[in-house]
Amino acid sequence: MKTQDIVVYNDKKHNRLCLLRSDKIKCPYCFNEESKVMDKRDTEINATRRRRECLKCSKRFTTYERIEDLDLAIIKKDGRREAFEKEKIKKGILKACEKRPVSIEQIDVTVDKIEAEIRKLKGKEIQSSIIGEKVMNRLKKLDKVAYIRFASVYRSFADITDFQKELKELIKK
Ligand SMILES: [Zn+2]
């Protein structure tokens, strides 16, 4: 699988943390390509964090190895394929949660969980309906009104009676 490394380093001159994306790991201070790994840890499901030390200047920096989003394609209902975009999931959830007591943090956590679930699936192509189901499952736990909003837009007219049944069940609870 194609991966992309992100080098994180402290830019002391401008007093800020910087990100460097590259296919080759280079020391951000002296650009030497050789470093040793001091510590390795999986952060999220799709990223590995490595603490490194440059073999030339001995400065330390951190790299994150991530799986590129482009590795995942979404197959839409009409058969068209498009690149997986986390932002699209977030947009849909944000809209469903409008004026609901759900924080941005909760939404971000939810989107991360959905992404992690999707990336755990085998294959590089995922039906959009699978993502829709996952969003609905998460929203159901997060906020019932948001769930109903999302589901009513998302679900097709054909299973509207099933949906109405489910609505009644939800209202009873
Ligand atoms: Zn160096």
* pLDDT tens digits, 89-146: 999 999 999 999 999 999 999 999 999 898 888 777 888 889 999 999 999 999 998 9
87 Cα to the center of ligand 1, angstroms:
35
Half-sphere exposure of 102 (CA within 13 A, CB side): 24
Q: Which two tokens stand for residue 72?
A: 């995942």
Distance 33 CA to ligand 1 centre (A): 8
Residue 55 CA to ligand 1 center (angstroms) comes to 7
What band does 1 get if pLDDT is binned at 50, 70 and 90?
A: very low
Question: Which sequence spans correspond to the domains of the chain?
Answer: 3-67, 72-172
Per DSSP bridges, beta strands 3-11 and 16-22 are antiparallel
Distance of CA 17 from the midpoint of ligand 1 (Å):
17
Q: Model's pTM, two decimal places?
A: 0.54
Q: Which pLDDT belongs to residue 69?
A: 46
Give percent of the chain with pLDDT exceeding 70. 72
| Interval between CA 50 and ligand 1 midpoint (Å) | 16
Region of residue 18 (left: phi > 0; alpha: psi -120 to 50; beta: else): beta
From the CA of 21, how far away is ligand 1's center (Å)?
17
How many whole angstroms from 49 Cα to the centroid of ligand 1?
Answer: 18
